[in-house]
């Protein structure tokens, strides 16, 4: 297994060496893993390779609560694949997650462009010329760490902090069931590489405004558990505006609601313009949320999945809103 990994990782390194213009693409509604992975990759390339023009790309804006991630201020929304000789996707479980599939369908045929897909989602259907999909890894950031640590490239404190951000946020502070021995091992190694854990904790978990906490209370107050032991709640623009917040301020409530006793899983519906985003979470081993999400352009993991559909929350008559 190690020899096979090294062959793949060295092939990626060779592609980086041979490229002059590189695009690093994070998925829509970016989370800490996609941002931490891509920005760390950016930092490591700049630290170890010369004469590279690198762009960080995300079609959505970077959430306010993740703007502390080093290099996140460099993200661009404009993208033309013809400007790059190497395009790398990070942490996207499906091509629709990139928000580029309709504009550039040829980007995903595995032939037209020099593309690499680095991911850990079981939903990934292999869209790139080279695909590195390790579904048993707790975070894509762990794969990024392996690529460069196994090939002995320098990982500075900025890159190691960003990688640790990806691991820390995608494992729910190292407490989700996907947190295995390898996640702990790499966390320790990254801290030894001067990853700044206190910087992550202070910025991601200890900066809740009073308005943000009031928004959480509003969302909790609207939640209910149905006869199937499924917990539901919803968020709309009026909710976030009334507390001078934005939608990213509601992201931290997911784990809190999912910890409720006896529920099968939790569903948080977010109304954004004419779309409703469904976020599904469970702590149970006997439930596979991808079975639900795949019916609607699915993405995610067994215990954390979601999808977006056109419509209004009020249209879902089965929910007692």
Domain check: are 32 and 155 in the same one? yes
Nearest-angstrom CA–CA distance, 179 and 172? 9
Domain check: are 52 and 199 in the same one? yes
Domain check: are 145 and 253 in the same one? no
Q: What is the CATH number of the domain that holds 45?
A: 3.90.1640.10
pLDDT at 112 over 60: yes
pLDDT at 318 over 70: no
DSSP 8-state code for residue 62 = P
Answer with the one of 203, 225, 248 that is the final residue of a domain: 203
Evaluate whether residue 302 is within a structural domain: yes
H runs (alpha helix) in the chain: 2-18, 32-48, 140-149, 157-170, 181-192, 197-204, 210-221, 237-242, 253-258, 290-293
pLDDT at 100 over 50: yes
The DSSP H or E segment spanning 133 is strand 130-133
What percent of the chain lies above the pLDDT cut of 70?
Answer: 97
Domain check: are 23 and 93 in the same one? yes
Evaluate whether residue 321 is within a structural domain: no
Domain span at residue 123 reads 2-203
Domain check: are 139 and 181 in the same one? yes
Evaluate whether residue 104 is within a structural domain: yes
Domain check: are 220 and 186 in the same one? no
Reported as a single tens digit per residue, the pLDDT across 10-61 is 999 999 999 999 999 999 989 999 999 999 999 999 999 999 999 999 999 9
Answer with the one of 203, 236, 261 that is the final residue of a domain: 203
Evaluate whether residue 95 is within a structural domain: yes
Q: What is the CATH number of the domain that holds 261?
A: 3.10.310.30
Q: Are 72 and 65 in contact (CB under 8 A)?
A: no
List the strands of the sheet with 299-300, edge to edge: 224-225, 230-235, 265-272, 275-281, 304-310, 299-300
Nearest-angstrom CA–CA distance, 290 and 77? 29
Reported as a single tens digit per residue, the pLDDT across 284-295 is 989 999 888 777
The whole-number pLDDT of residue 321 equals 45
The whole-number pLDDT of residue 82 equals 98
128 CA to centre of own chain:
18
Domain check: are 287 and 148 in the same one? no
Reported as a single tens digit per residue, the pLDDT across 144-190 is 999 999 999 999 999 999 999 999 999 988 988 889 999 999 999 99
Nearest-angstrom CA–CA distance, 186 and 181? 9
Nearest-angstrom CA–CA distance, 320 and 72? 39
State whether residue 54 is helix, strand or coil: strand
Averaged confidence pLDDT in the chain = 92
Reported as a single tens digit per residue, the pLDDT across 149-158 is 999 999 999 9
Domain check: are 148 and 232 in the same one? no
The whole-number pLDDT of residue 155 equals 98
Domain check: are 165 and 215 in the same one? no
The number of distinct structural domains making up the chain is 2
Domain check: are 238 and 280 in the same one? yes
Domain check: are 106 and 78 in the same one? yes
Nearest-angstrom CA–CA distance, 30 and 204? 14
The whole-number pLDDT of residue 307 equals 84
Structure tokens at 7: 């062959």
Domain check: are 196 and 269 in the same one? no
Evaluate whether residue 158 is within a structural domain: yes
The whole-number pLDDT of residue 171 equals 92
Answer with the one of 185, 203, 221 that is the final residue of a domain: 203
């Amino acid at each position: 297994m190690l020899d096979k990994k090294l062959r793949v990782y060295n092939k990626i390194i060779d592609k980086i060496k041979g490229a002059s213009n590189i695009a690093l693409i994070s998925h829509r509604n970016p989370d800490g893993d996609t941002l931490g992975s891509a920005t760390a990759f950016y930092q490591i390339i700049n630290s170890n390779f010369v004469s590279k023009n690198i762009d960080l790309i995300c079609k959505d804006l970077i959430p306010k609560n993740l703007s502390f991630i080093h290099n996140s201020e460099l993200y661009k929304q404009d993208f033309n694949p013809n400007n790059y000789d190497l395009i790398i996707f990070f942490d996207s479980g499906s091509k629709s997650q990139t928000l580029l599939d309709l504009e550039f369908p040829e980007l995903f045929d595995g032939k037209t462009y020099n593309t690499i897909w680095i991911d850990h989602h079981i939903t990934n259907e292999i869209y790139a010329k080279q695909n590195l999909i390790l579904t048993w890894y707790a975070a894509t950031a762990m794969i990024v760490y392996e690529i460069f640590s196994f090939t002995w490239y320098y990982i500075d404190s900025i890159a190691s902090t960003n990688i640790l951000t990806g691991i820390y946020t995608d494992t729910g502070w190292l407490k989700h069931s996907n947190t295995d021995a390898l996640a702990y091992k790499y966390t320790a190694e990254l801290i030894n590489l001067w990853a700044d854990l206190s910087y992550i904790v202070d910025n991601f978990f200890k900066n809740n405004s009073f308005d943000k906490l009031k928004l959480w209370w509003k969302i909790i107050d609207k939640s209910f558990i149905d006869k199937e032991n499924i917990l539901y709640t919803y968020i709309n623009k009026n909710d976030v505006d009334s507390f001078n917040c934005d939608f990213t301020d509601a992201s931290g409530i997911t784990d809190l609601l999912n910890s409720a006793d006896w529920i099968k899983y939790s569903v948080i519906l977010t109304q954004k313009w004419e779309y409703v985003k469904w976020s599904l979470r469970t702590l149970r081993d006997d439930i596979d949320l991808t079975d639900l999400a795949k019916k609607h352009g699915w993405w995610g993991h067994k215990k954390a999945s979601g999808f977006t559909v056109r419509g209004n929350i009020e249209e879902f008559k089965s929910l007692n809103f």
